[in-house]
Structure 1
Amino acid sequence: MTNEKNFSAEPILLGVLHGAYGLKGWVRVQPFQDTQALLSSENWLICDREGGVRPIRMEKAKVHGAGLIAKLEGIETPEQAAELRGAVGMYRKDFPQIEEGEFYWVDLIGCEAVNKAGETIGVVKGLIDNGVHDILDVQKPDGSSVLIPFVDSYFVEADLENRKIVLDWDPTWS
């Protein structure tokens, strides 16, 4: 039930380019989730719809409203910035270090979710941010989904090396 895929060699999409900002080649970026990874690394990727990936160095970035604005190396005019299309991503190796007990969503997706008794709940297929806390979207063996709050009262441990999350959850709960 575990996902054996190695994400370290694949781009992880973190946001979408939304055109030019200002007159000096800055671009608008709408992040999919937390902006920390994008703000902390200069090693960005531009991923186009055809599957092309182009590395680009982020020179400066800052939060602007609900998104980011960024100055990318080699992009000097609003026309050049407006031509950029696609998603912004990074390789997992370029993500900033996080504190113990914190997790990047990409590391949890594909993990087998089991309860403390070792019973299978399902596989984490995604996460949802409801504004208060994260929620695990777990696909059960029968193909249905169960949403499990990713909070201390249900979370026991994560063994990312073995792609397993242990939860205090009864598999019969829907």
Structure 2
Amino acid sequence: MKRKRTVKEILERRKMKAFNHEGEVLIGKVVGVHGLKGELKVKSESDIFERQLEAVDSLTLYRGTRKEEVTVESVKPYKDIYLIKFKEINDRSQAEETIGGELWIDENERVELEEGEFYYEELLGLKVFTEDGRELGVIKNILEQPASHILEVEKSDGKTVLIPFIEQFVKEIDLKNGKVTVSLIEGMES
């Protein structure tokens, strides 16, 4: 008879990663399927998602303990996501097996960024300061919204401040010194 796992054991097992993504960059997540011919709905993890897909021959699709090289056949923007057809996925049932999967590229295949463009992971962990030099907190996440991305900044007291990632609020990004300067309006911090 099989021994039942404790809740603690189950949670520990879920934390374990099946793959080491060192040297790789996450660029998208499979969130659904579209149609009957194997198109995937993919949420971008990059502002330059389409440019990035054009620059690579193949991507690595990870789901659970599965790892598969996939080749892009077509990409179409669709609402706030992308519809992607991979050569290796040809019907809806194959596509459904990839839901929850992640698309990764090799770090050295990243496209060159233009002025004012950043990879999300470069911003995570940066310290955020107000224009008068007061430390506000650390960037913990970047939320994608239709109007603009939003920086989720965790203050030292554990509270969160949400700052729209637009020029009006984000004044300077200094990757070299690991800091972001922001301008806040009344009520933003409360």
- State whether TM-score is above 0.5: yes
* Mapped pair 1:98 → 2:110: no
Q: Distance in 1 between matches of 2:120 and 2:141?
A: 8
Rate the CA distance shift 1:147–1:75 in 2: closer, same or farther, 3 A: closer
**Structure 1 residue 117, shift from structure 2 partner:** 4.1
Q: Distance in 2 between matches of 1:55 and 1:163?
A: 34
- State how many pairs are aligned: 164
Q: 2:43 aligns with which of 2, 8, 31?
A: 31
Q: Letter of the aligned partner of 1:47 in structure 2?
A: Y
* Mapped pair 1:128 → 2:140: no
Q: Letter of the aligned partner of 1:28 in structure 2?
A: L
Structure with more of its chain in strand, by fraction: 1
* Mapped pair 1:115 → 2:133: no
Rate the CA distance shift 1:16–1:79 in 2: closer, same or farther, 3 A: closer
For the 8 Å contact 1:137–1:147, the answer to whether it is kept is yes
Q: Deviations over 1:80-116 (max 9, x none)?
A: 3343343232235444333211333332222111233
Q: Distance in 1 between matches of 2:31 and 2:59?
A: 12
Q: Distance in 1 between matches of 2:129 and 2:59?
A: 35
* Mapped pair 1:151 → 2:151: no
Q: What SS class does the counterpart of residue 86 from structure 1 fall into?
A: coil
For the 8 Å contact 2:46–2:120, the answer to whether it is kept is no
Residue number in structure 1 paired with 2:72: 58
Gaps in structure 1 of 5+ consecutive residues: 1-6
Rate the CA distance shift 1:144–1:44 in 2: closer, same or farther, 3 A: same
The percent identity for this pair of structures is 24
**Structure 1 residue 139, shift from structure 2 partner:** 0.2
* TM norm structure 1: 0.71
Gaps in structure 2 of 5+ consecutive residues: 1-20
Residue number in structure 2 paired with 1:12: 26
Aligned counterparts, 1:57-76, within 5 A: 57-76=71-90
For the 8 Å contact 1:153–1:168, the answer to whether it is kept is yes
Whose RCO is larger (CA < 8 A, sep 6+)? 1
